[in-house]
Amino acid sequence: MIPLTETQVRGPELQKKVSFLNGLGLVIGAMIGSGLFSSPGPVLEAVEGPGTALIIWFVSGLLALCGALCYAELGTMLPMNGGESVYLYRAFGSLVSFTFEFVSIVVQKPGSLAIVCTVFGEYVSRIAFHTYFFRVPHDSEAAVELADSVIPRYLPKLLAVISLWLVNIINAFSTRAGIRVQDFLTILKVLAAIVISITGVVMLAKGTVIGTSFEGDPFAGFDQLSFGQYSLAFYSGLWAYDGWNNLNYVSGEMKHPHKDLPRAIFIGIPIVIVCYLFSNVAYLAVLRPQVVMHTNTVAMDFGKKIFGPVGGILLAVCVALSCFGVTNATVFTGSRIIYVSAKQGHIPSVFGKLNASRQTPITAIVLQGLLTTIMIIIGSFRALVNFYSTCAWIFYFLAVLSLLVFRYTEPDLTRPYRVWLTTPILFCIVALFLCVMPFMAAPWESFTSLGFILLAIPIWLVQVKYREAIGKLWNGK
Protein backbone atom coordinates (compact mmCIF):
# COMPACT_ATOMS: atom_id res chain seq x y z
CA MET A 1 0.00 0.00 0.00
CA ILE A 2 1.54 3.31 -1.07
CA PRO A 3 1.46 5.94 1.72
CA LEU A 4 -0.11 9.31 1.00
CA THR A 5 2.17 12.29 0.71
CA GLU A 6 1.83 15.22 3.11
CA THR A 7 0.18 17.28 0.38
CA GLN A 8 -2.35 14.55 -0.35
CA VAL A 9 -3.22 14.23 3.34
CA ARG A 10 -3.78 17.97 3.76
CA GLY A 11 -5.47 18.42 0.40
CA PRO A 12 -4.72 21.19 -2.06
CA GLU A 13 -3.58 24.56 -0.75
CA LEU A 14 -3.84 28.05 -2.23
CA GLN A 15 -0.80 28.71 -4.37
CA LYS A 16 1.58 31.67 -4.05
CA LYS A 17 0.78 33.59 -7.23
CA VAL A 18 0.35 37.19 -6.00
CA SER A 19 3.34 39.41 -6.88
CA PHE A 20 4.17 42.92 -5.65
CA LEU A 21 2.46 44.54 -8.65
CA ASN A 22 -0.58 42.30 -8.16
CA GLY A 23 -0.71 43.31 -4.48
CA LEU A 24 -0.33 46.99 -5.36
CA GLY A 25 -3.21 46.64 -7.81
CA LEU A 26 -5.32 44.90 -5.17
CA VAL A 27 -4.74 47.71 -2.63
CA ILE A 28 -5.54 50.50 -5.09
CA GLY A 29 -8.34 48.58 -6.76
CA ALA A 30 -10.08 47.74 -3.49
CA MET A 31 -10.05 51.37 -2.32
CA ILE A 32 -10.70 53.44 -5.45
CA GLY A 33 -14.26 52.73 -6.42
CA SER A 34 -17.76 53.95 -5.78
CA GLY A 35 -16.60 56.04 -2.82
CA LEU A 36 -14.64 58.38 -5.10
CA PHE A 37 -17.84 59.10 -7.02
CA SER A 38 -20.44 58.97 -4.22
CA SER A 39 -18.88 60.25 -0.98
CA PRO A 40 -17.83 63.83 -1.97
CA GLY A 41 -21.43 65.01 -1.58
CA PRO A 42 -22.08 63.65 1.94
CA VAL A 43 -18.68 64.92 3.16
CA LEU A 44 -19.27 68.43 1.83
CA GLU A 45 -22.86 68.46 3.07
CA ALA A 46 -21.72 67.59 6.60
CA VAL A 47 -19.01 70.28 6.91
CA GLU A 48 -20.25 72.78 4.26
CA GLY A 49 -16.84 74.40 3.67
CA PRO A 50 -14.80 73.00 0.74
CA GLY A 51 -11.52 73.57 2.56
CA THR A 52 -12.78 71.69 5.60
CA ALA A 53 -14.03 68.90 3.34
CA LEU A 54 -10.57 68.48 1.80
CA ILE A 55 -9.06 68.24 5.29
CA ILE A 56 -11.57 65.50 6.14
CA TRP A 57 -10.49 63.60 3.03
CA PHE A 58 -6.80 63.96 3.92
CA VAL A 59 -7.20 62.94 7.57
CA SER A 60 -9.37 59.97 6.59
CA GLY A 61 -6.61 58.85 4.23
CA LEU A 62 -3.98 59.16 6.97
CA LEU A 63 -6.11 57.06 9.31
CA ALA A 64 -6.44 54.39 6.62
CA LEU A 65 -2.65 54.49 6.10
CA CYS A 66 -2.01 54.09 9.85
CA GLY A 67 -4.34 51.11 9.97
CA ALA A 68 -2.73 49.55 6.92
CA LEU A 69 0.77 49.94 8.39
CA CYS A 70 -0.38 48.16 11.54
CA TYR A 71 -1.85 45.44 9.35
CA ALA A 72 1.48 45.23 7.49
CA GLU A 73 3.22 44.19 10.71
CA LEU A 74 0.48 41.64 11.40
CA GLY A 75 0.55 40.35 7.83
CA THR A 76 4.32 39.88 7.67
CA MET A 77 4.42 38.43 11.19
CA LEU A 78 1.61 35.96 10.41
CA PRO A 79 1.63 35.58 6.59
CA MET A 80 -1.49 33.46 6.28
CA ASN A 81 -4.78 33.91 4.46
CA GLY A 82 -7.71 35.13 6.53
CA GLY A 83 -6.68 38.61 7.68
CA GLU A 84 -8.34 39.61 10.95
CA SER A 85 -9.65 36.12 11.69
CA VAL A 86 -6.08 34.85 12.09
CA TYR A 87 -4.96 37.73 14.34
CA LEU A 88 -8.09 37.72 16.50
CA TYR A 89 -7.92 33.96 17.02
CA ARG A 90 -4.32 34.07 18.17
CA ALA A 91 -4.75 37.13 20.39
CA PHE A 92 -8.23 36.72 21.87
CA GLY A 93 -9.30 33.15 21.18
CA SER A 94 -11.96 31.33 19.25
CA LEU A 95 -15.02 33.38 20.29
CA VAL A 96 -13.76 36.74 19.01
CA SER A 97 -12.39 35.18 15.83
CA PHE A 98 -15.64 33.34 15.19
CA THR A 99 -17.68 36.50 15.80
CA PHE A 100 -15.61 38.38 13.24
CA GLU A 101 -15.96 35.58 10.72
CA PHE A 102 -19.70 35.36 11.30
CA VAL A 103 -20.24 39.12 10.88
CA SER A 104 -17.87 39.30 7.89
CA ILE A 105 -19.42 36.35 6.08
CA VAL A 106 -23.06 37.23 6.70
CA VAL A 107 -23.02 41.07 6.81
CA GLN A 108 -19.83 42.97 6.03
CA LYS A 109 -18.57 41.46 2.79
CA PRO A 110 -22.01 40.76 1.27
CA GLY A 111 -23.26 44.19 2.37
CA SER A 112 -20.27 45.99 0.90
CA LEU A 113 -20.55 44.01 -2.32
CA ALA A 114 -24.28 44.70 -2.56
CA ILE A 115 -23.79 48.45 -2.21
CA VAL A 116 -21.06 48.61 -4.85
CA CYS A 117 -22.95 46.36 -7.26
CA THR A 118 -26.06 48.50 -6.85
CA VAL A 119 -24.10 51.64 -7.70
CA PHE A 120 -22.84 49.81 -10.78
CA GLY A 121 -26.38 48.91 -11.77
CA GLU A 122 -27.64 52.46 -11.31
CA TYR A 123 -24.86 54.01 -13.40
CA VAL A 124 -25.22 51.48 -16.20
CA SER A 125 -28.99 52.02 -16.17
CA ARG A 126 -28.49 55.75 -16.57
CA ILE A 127 -26.05 55.18 -19.40
CA ALA A 128 -28.64 53.05 -21.18
CA PHE A 129 -31.35 55.69 -20.72
CA HIS A 130 -29.08 58.72 -21.16
CA THR A 131 -31.18 60.24 -23.99
CA TYR A 132 -33.97 60.95 -21.51
CA PHE A 133 -32.10 62.87 -18.88
CA PHE A 134 -28.94 64.28 -20.48
CA ARG A 135 -31.04 67.04 -22.02
CA VAL A 136 -31.90 68.26 -18.53
CA PRO A 137 -29.45 70.75 -16.92
CA HIS A 138 -26.94 69.00 -14.69
CA ASP A 139 -27.78 71.19 -11.70
CA SER A 140 -31.49 70.42 -11.83
CA GLU A 141 -33.24 67.98 -9.51
CA ALA A 142 -35.38 67.06 -12.52
CA ALA A 143 -32.39 65.18 -13.98
CA VAL A 144 -32.55 62.55 -11.24
CA GLU A 145 -36.34 62.53 -11.02
CA LEU A 146 -36.73 62.03 -14.77
CA ALA A 147 -34.20 59.21 -14.84
CA ASP A 148 -35.90 57.43 -11.95
CA SER A 149 -39.29 57.72 -13.63
CA VAL A 150 -38.03 56.29 -16.94
CA ILE A 151 -35.67 53.52 -15.79
CA PRO A 152 -37.50 50.29 -14.84
CA ARG A 153 -37.27 49.70 -11.12
CA TYR A 154 -35.92 46.18 -11.57
CA LEU A 155 -33.16 47.07 -14.06
CA PRO A 156 -30.47 48.40 -11.65
CA LYS A 157 -30.91 45.35 -9.42
CA LEU A 158 -30.76 42.98 -12.38
CA LEU A 159 -27.57 44.60 -13.66
CA ALA A 160 -26.11 44.50 -10.15
CA VAL A 161 -26.75 40.76 -9.86
CA ILE A 162 -25.35 40.12 -13.34
CA SER A 163 -22.14 42.03 -12.56
CA LEU A 164 -21.75 40.16 -9.26
CA TRP A 165 -22.01 36.70 -10.82
CA LEU A 166 -19.80 37.64 -13.73
CA VAL A 167 -17.06 38.51 -11.24
CA ASN A 168 -17.79 35.31 -9.30
CA ILE A 169 -17.31 33.24 -12.46
CA ILE A 170 -14.00 35.00 -13.24
CA ASN A 171 -12.64 34.31 -9.75
CA ALA A 172 -13.96 30.75 -9.70
CA PHE A 173 -12.37 30.05 -13.07
CA SER A 174 -8.86 31.12 -12.10
CA THR A 175 -7.01 33.02 -9.38
CA ARG A 176 -4.72 34.44 -12.03
CA ALA A 177 -7.68 35.51 -14.19
CA GLY A 178 -9.15 37.43 -11.27
CA ILE A 179 -5.79 39.11 -10.64
CA ARG A 180 -5.42 40.11 -14.31
CA VAL A 181 -8.90 41.64 -14.39
CA GLN A 182 -8.02 43.57 -11.21
CA ASP A 183 -4.76 44.87 -12.68
CA PHE A 184 -6.49 46.10 -15.85
CA LEU A 185 -9.37 47.82 -14.03
CA THR A 186 -6.97 49.40 -11.52
CA ILE A 187 -5.02 51.08 -14.32
CA LEU A 188 -8.28 52.27 -15.91
CA LYS A 189 -9.63 53.66 -12.64
CA VAL A 190 -6.45 55.52 -11.78
CA LEU A 191 -6.36 57.02 -15.28
CA ALA A 192 -9.98 58.19 -14.86
CA ALA A 193 -9.14 59.79 -11.51
CA ILE A 194 -6.08 61.45 -13.07
CA VAL A 195 -8.18 62.87 -15.93
CA ILE A 196 -10.73 64.30 -13.49
CA SER A 197 -8.14 65.78 -11.15
CA ILE A 198 -5.89 67.28 -13.84
CA THR A 199 -8.85 68.86 -15.62
CA GLY A 200 -10.10 70.54 -12.47
CA VAL A 201 -6.69 71.61 -11.21
CA VAL A 202 -5.74 73.13 -14.59
CA MET A 203 -8.98 75.10 -14.64
CA LEU A 204 -8.34 76.27 -11.10
CA ALA A 205 -4.77 77.33 -11.93
CA LYS A 206 -5.88 79.24 -15.02
CA GLY A 207 -8.61 81.01 -13.11
CA THR A 208 -11.33 79.60 -15.37
CA VAL A 209 -13.27 78.04 -12.51
CA ILE A 210 -16.89 77.39 -13.45
CA GLY A 211 -18.20 76.47 -10.02
CA THR A 212 -18.46 78.71 -7.00
CA SER A 213 -17.13 76.36 -4.32
CA PHE A 214 -13.85 78.22 -3.81
CA GLU A 215 -15.36 81.69 -3.66
CA GLY A 216 -14.94 83.32 -0.27
CA ASP A 217 -13.43 81.61 2.78
CA PRO A 218 -13.13 77.83 2.08
CA PHE A 219 -13.04 77.14 5.84
CA ALA A 220 -15.99 79.33 6.76
CA GLY A 221 -18.06 77.96 9.62
CA PHE A 222 -15.69 75.14 10.57
CA ASP A 223 -15.68 76.32 14.21
CA GLN A 224 -19.48 76.27 14.35
CA LEU A 225 -19.92 72.67 13.24
CA SER A 226 -21.29 70.21 15.74
CA PHE A 227 -19.47 67.07 16.77
CA GLY A 228 -22.08 65.03 14.95
CA GLN A 229 -21.43 66.85 11.69
CA TYR A 230 -17.72 66.09 11.86
CA SER A 231 -18.40 62.44 12.70
CA LEU A 232 -20.78 62.07 9.74
CA ALA A 233 -18.17 63.59 7.45
CA PHE A 234 -15.54 61.14 8.66
CA TYR A 235 -17.90 58.19 8.23
CA SER A 236 -18.43 59.12 4.58
CA GLY A 237 -14.73 59.73 4.00
CA LEU A 238 -13.65 56.51 5.68
CA TRP A 239 -16.24 54.55 3.71
CA ALA A 240 -14.56 55.79 0.53
CA TYR A 241 -11.17 54.57 1.82
CA ASP A 242 -12.54 51.23 2.97
CA GLY A 243 -10.58 48.30 1.57
CA TRP A 244 -7.15 49.31 2.89
CA ASN A 245 -6.92 45.99 4.78
CA ASN A 246 -7.77 43.70 1.85
CA LEU A 247 -4.21 42.71 0.98
CA ASN A 248 -3.76 40.97 4.33
CA TYR A 249 -6.50 38.49 3.42
CA VAL A 250 -4.32 37.04 0.66
CA SER A 251 -0.89 37.45 2.27
CA GLY A 252 -0.62 33.65 2.28
CA GLU A 253 -0.78 33.72 -1.54
CA MET A 254 1.91 36.41 -1.94
CA LYS A 255 5.23 35.28 -3.36
CA HIS A 256 7.27 37.46 -0.95
CA PRO A 257 4.89 38.76 1.75
CA HIS A 258 7.65 39.97 4.10
CA LYS A 259 8.93 42.39 1.47
CA ASP A 260 6.00 43.03 -0.86
CA LEU A 261 3.18 43.57 1.67
CA PRO A 262 4.64 46.73 3.31
CA ARG A 263 5.81 48.07 -0.07
CA ALA A 264 2.36 47.69 -1.61
CA ILE A 265 0.80 49.56 1.33
CA PHE A 266 3.42 52.34 1.44
CA ILE A 267 3.01 53.01 -2.28
CA GLY A 268 -0.64 52.14 -2.86
CA ILE A 269 -2.44 54.13 -0.15
CA PRO A 270 -0.61 57.46 -0.76
CA ILE A 271 -1.58 57.09 -4.45
CA VAL A 272 -5.22 56.73 -3.39
CA ILE A 273 -5.00 59.74 -1.05
CA VAL A 274 -3.58 61.93 -3.82
CA CYS A 275 -6.23 60.73 -6.30
CA TYR A 276 -9.01 61.48 -3.83
CA LEU A 277 -7.72 64.94 -2.96
CA PHE A 278 -7.17 66.00 -6.56
CA SER A 279 -10.48 64.56 -7.70
CA ASN A 280 -12.34 66.46 -4.99
CA VAL A 281 -10.52 69.66 -5.95
CA ALA A 282 -11.69 69.03 -9.51
CA TYR A 283 -15.33 68.53 -8.50
CA LEU A 284 -15.30 71.69 -6.37
CA ALA A 285 -13.54 73.73 -9.07
CA VAL A 286 -16.10 72.83 -11.73
CA LEU A 287 -19.43 72.35 -9.93
CA ARG A 288 -21.41 74.53 -7.59
CA PRO A 289 -21.31 73.28 -3.96
CA GLN A 290 -25.08 72.70 -4.01
CA VAL A 291 -24.65 70.30 -6.93
CA VAL A 292 -21.82 68.38 -5.23
CA MET A 293 -23.85 68.09 -2.03
CA HIS A 294 -27.03 66.71 -3.54
CA THR A 295 -26.09 64.70 -6.63
CA ASN A 296 -25.55 60.94 -6.51
CA THR A 297 -23.64 61.00 -9.80
CA VAL A 298 -21.02 63.67 -9.25
CA ALA A 299 -18.65 62.26 -11.88
CA MET A 300 -21.41 62.29 -14.47
CA ASP A 301 -22.26 65.92 -13.60
CA PHE A 302 -18.58 66.81 -13.80
CA GLY A 303 -18.29 65.21 -17.24
CA LYS A 304 -21.42 66.94 -18.56
CA LYS A 305 -20.23 70.32 -17.29
CA ILE A 306 -16.78 70.07 -18.90
CA PHE A 307 -17.19 67.85 -21.95
CA GLY A 308 -20.94 67.82 -22.59
CA PRO A 309 -23.23 64.75 -22.75
CA VAL A 310 -20.53 62.54 -24.27
CA GLY A 311 -18.16 63.36 -21.42
CA GLY A 312 -20.87 62.50 -18.91
CA ILE A 313 -21.37 59.11 -20.54
CA LEU A 314 -17.65 58.36 -20.61
CA LEU A 315 -17.17 59.21 -16.95
CA ALA A 316 -20.28 57.21 -16.05
CA VAL A 317 -18.66 54.25 -17.81
CA CYS A 318 -15.52 54.81 -15.73
CA VAL A 319 -17.61 54.82 -12.55
CA ALA A 320 -19.25 51.55 -13.58
CA LEU A 321 -15.88 49.95 -14.32
CA SER A 322 -14.44 51.18 -11.02
CA CYS A 323 -17.37 49.54 -9.20
CA PHE A 324 -16.68 46.38 -11.17
CA GLY A 325 -13.06 46.51 -10.03
CA VAL A 326 -14.03 46.91 -6.37
CA THR A 327 -16.46 44.03 -6.74
CA ASN A 328 -13.66 41.88 -8.14
CA ALA A 329 -11.27 42.75 -5.30
CA THR A 330 -13.94 42.15 -2.63
CA VAL A 331 -15.01 38.81 -4.09
CA PHE A 332 -11.36 37.75 -4.23
CA THR A 333 -10.64 38.63 -0.60
CA GLY A 334 -14.04 37.87 0.93
CA SER A 335 -14.06 34.30 -0.32
CA ARG A 336 -10.75 33.76 1.51
CA ILE A 337 -12.41 34.62 4.84
CA ILE A 338 -15.01 31.92 4.22
CA TYR A 339 -12.28 29.49 3.15
CA VAL A 340 -10.21 30.03 6.33
CA SER A 341 -13.28 29.89 8.58
CA ALA A 342 -14.25 26.53 7.11
CA LYS A 343 -10.68 25.23 7.51
CA GLN A 344 -10.90 26.12 11.21
CA GLY A 345 -14.17 24.21 11.57
CA HIS A 346 -16.29 27.28 12.30
CA ILE A 347 -18.59 26.71 9.33
CA PRO A 348 -19.30 23.55 7.27
CA SER A 349 -16.12 22.09 5.80
CA VAL A 350 -17.54 22.09 2.27
CA PHE A 351 -16.75 25.82 2.10
CA GLY A 352 -13.08 25.12 2.85
CA LYS A 353 -12.49 22.98 -0.23
CA LEU A 354 -10.59 23.99 -3.35
CA ASN A 355 -11.53 22.94 -6.84
CA ALA A 356 -9.06 20.20 -7.76
CA SER A 357 -8.33 21.53 -11.24
CA ARG A 358 -8.76 25.31 -10.78
CA GLN A 359 -7.28 25.57 -7.27
CA THR A 360 -9.92 28.18 -6.37
CA PRO A 361 -12.41 28.21 -3.43
CA ILE A 362 -15.52 27.85 -5.62
CA THR A 363 -17.91 26.86 -2.82
CA ALA A 364 -16.85 29.89 -0.75
CA ILE A 365 -17.37 32.17 -3.75
CA VAL A 366 -20.87 30.73 -4.33
CA LEU A 367 -21.89 31.20 -0.68
CA GLN A 368 -20.74 34.82 -0.70
CA GLY A 369 -22.55 35.38 -4.01
CA LEU A 370 -25.86 34.04 -2.69
CA LEU A 371 -25.74 36.22 0.44
CA THR A 372 -24.88 39.29 -1.65
CA THR A 373 -27.69 38.58 -4.09
CA ILE A 374 -30.19 38.54 -1.22
CA MET A 375 -28.96 41.94 -0.02
CA ILE A 376 -29.14 43.41 -3.53
CA ILE A 377 -32.76 42.30 -3.79
CA ILE A 378 -33.65 43.85 -0.40
CA GLY A 379 -33.43 47.36 -1.86
CA SER A 380 -32.19 50.38 0.12
CA PHE A 381 -28.73 50.21 1.65
CA ARG A 382 -28.41 53.60 3.38
CA ALA A 383 -29.02 52.10 6.82
CA LEU A 384 -26.87 49.11 5.85
CA VAL A 385 -23.90 51.41 5.24
CA ASN A 386 -24.11 52.73 8.83
CA PHE A 387 -24.62 49.19 10.07
CA TYR A 388 -21.63 48.00 8.07
CA SER A 389 -19.38 50.83 9.29
CA THR A 390 -20.12 50.14 12.96
CA CYS A 391 -19.29 46.44 12.54
CA ALA A 392 -16.17 47.19 10.52
CA TRP A 393 -14.62 49.64 12.95
CA ILE A 394 -15.25 47.44 15.98
CA PHE A 395 -13.14 44.73 14.40
CA TYR A 396 -10.55 47.16 12.98
CA PHE A 397 -10.05 48.29 16.58
CA LEU A 398 -9.73 44.72 17.87
CA ALA A 399 -7.34 43.69 15.09
CA VAL A 400 -4.91 46.54 15.75
CA LEU A 401 -5.32 45.97 19.49
CA SER A 402 -4.13 42.41 18.84
CA LEU A 403 -0.87 43.88 17.53
CA LEU A 404 -0.32 45.52 20.93
CA VAL A 405 -1.23 42.25 22.62
CA PHE A 406 1.38 40.39 20.54
CA ARG A 407 4.01 42.99 21.43
CA TYR A 408 3.44 42.07 25.08
CA THR A 409 2.67 38.34 24.96
CA GLU A 410 4.96 37.31 22.07
CA PRO A 411 7.85 39.81 22.03
CA ASP A 412 10.23 37.30 20.40
CA LEU A 413 7.97 36.59 17.41
CA THR A 414 9.75 37.33 14.12
CA ARG A 415 8.61 40.70 12.76
CA PRO A 416 10.06 41.43 9.29
CA TYR A 417 8.26 44.78 9.41
CA ARG A 418 7.75 46.66 12.69
CA VAL A 419 5.52 49.73 12.89
CA TRP A 420 6.18 52.52 15.39
CA LEU A 421 4.38 51.82 18.67
CA THR A 422 2.62 55.19 18.58
CA THR A 423 0.86 54.24 15.33
CA PRO A 424 -1.29 51.37 16.70
CA ILE A 425 -1.95 53.29 19.92
CA LEU A 426 -3.18 56.34 18.00
CA PHE A 427 -5.22 54.17 15.66
CA CYS A 428 -6.90 52.35 18.56
CA ILE A 429 -7.86 55.64 20.21
CA VAL A 430 -9.46 56.98 17.02
CA ALA A 431 -11.08 53.64 16.17
CA LEU A 432 -12.59 53.35 19.65
CA PHE A 433 -13.99 56.84 19.19
CA LEU A 434 -15.51 55.81 15.85
CA CYS A 435 -17.02 52.71 17.47
CA VAL A 436 -18.72 54.70 20.23
CA MET A 437 -19.97 57.78 18.37
CA PRO A 438 -22.43 56.03 16.02
CA PHE A 439 -24.52 55.02 19.04
CA MET A 440 -25.33 58.73 19.46
CA ALA A 441 -25.36 59.81 15.80
CA ALA A 442 -27.17 56.75 14.41
CA PRO A 443 -28.51 54.76 17.39
CA TRP A 444 -30.88 52.43 15.52
CA GLU A 445 -28.25 51.13 13.10
CA SER A 446 -25.59 50.94 15.83
CA PHE A 447 -27.65 48.95 18.33
CA THR A 448 -28.85 46.67 15.52
CA SER A 449 -25.21 46.12 14.59
CA LEU A 450 -24.33 45.32 18.20
CA GLY A 451 -27.22 42.88 18.41
CA PHE A 452 -26.03 41.11 15.27
CA ILE A 453 -22.54 40.80 16.75
CA LEU A 454 -23.96 39.34 19.97
CA LEU A 455 -25.99 36.87 17.90
CA ALA A 456 -22.72 35.16 17.01
CA ILE A 457 -22.22 34.06 20.65
CA PRO A 458 -24.95 31.37 20.84
CA ILE A 459 -23.97 30.16 17.37
CA TRP A 460 -20.36 29.85 18.57
CA LEU A 461 -21.50 27.88 21.63
CA VAL A 462 -23.32 25.37 19.42
CA GLN A 463 -20.95 25.26 16.46
CA VAL A 464 -17.58 25.46 18.26
CA LYS A 465 -17.59 25.35 22.07
CA TYR A 466 -19.99 22.45 22.66
CA ARG A 467 -20.03 20.99 19.17
CA GLU A 468 -18.61 17.65 20.21
CA ALA A 469 -20.88 17.30 23.24
CA ILE A 470 -23.97 18.19 21.20
CA GLY A 471 -22.90 15.64 18.55
CA LYS A 472 -22.63 12.88 21.16
CA LEU A 473 -25.98 13.85 22.66
CA TRP A 474 -27.60 13.88 19.22
CA ASN A 475 -26.22 10.41 18.45
CA GLY A 476 -27.42 9.08 21.81
CA LYS A 477 -23.96 8.44 23.27
Say how far apart CA 227 and CA 248 lie, in whole Å.
33
Q: Are 213 and 289 in contact (CB under 8 A)?
A: yes
Q: What is the pTM of this model?
A: 0.79
Per residue in 25-36, pLDDT (tens digit) is 777 777 777 788
Give yes or no for residue 5 having a pLDDT over 50: no
Give yes or no for residue 73 having a pLDDT over 50: yes
Q: In the prediction, which pLDDT does 3 show?
A: 34
Say how far apart CA 263 and CA 389 lie, in whole Å.
27
The stretches of 351-381 forming alpha helices (DSSP H) are 362-378
Classify 18 as helix, strand or coil: strand
Q: Which of 397, 405, 402 is nearest to 432 (CA)?
A: 397
Of 120-124, 138-142, 355-359, 433-437, where does mean pLDDT reach its minimum? 138-142
Q: Are 320 and 303 in contact (CB under 8 A)?
A: no
Amino acid at 240: A
How is residue 350 annotated by DSSP?
G
CA distances from 401 to 85, 350, 425 (A): 13, 32, 8
CA distances from 232 to 53, 293, 442 (A): 12, 14, 10
Compute the radius of gyration of the chain from its Cα atoms: 23
Q: In the prediction, which pLDDT does 249 show?
A: 62
Q: Are 368 and 334 in contact (CB under 8 A)?
A: yes
Report the pLDDT averaged over residues 286-307: 78
The secondary structure of 75-143 as a DSSP string is: HHHS--TTTHHHHHHHHH-HHHHHHHHHHIIIIIHHHHHHHHHHHHHHHHHHHHTHHHHTTS-TT-HHH
Classify 356 as helix, strand or coil: coil
The secondary structure of 241-295 as a DSSP string is: HTTTTGGGGGGGGBSSHHHHHHHHHHHHHHHHHHHHHHHHHHHHHHS-HHHHHH-
Amino acid at 130: H
Amino acid at 48: E
Per residue in 264-293, pLDDT (tens digit) is 888 888 988 988 888 888 888 888 887 788
Highest mean pLDDT among 62-76, 239-253, 339-353, 373-387: 62-76
Say how far apart CA 465 and CA 462 lie, in whole Å.
6
Say how far apart CA 15 and CA 208 lie, in whole Å.
53
How is residue 354 annotated by DSSP?
P
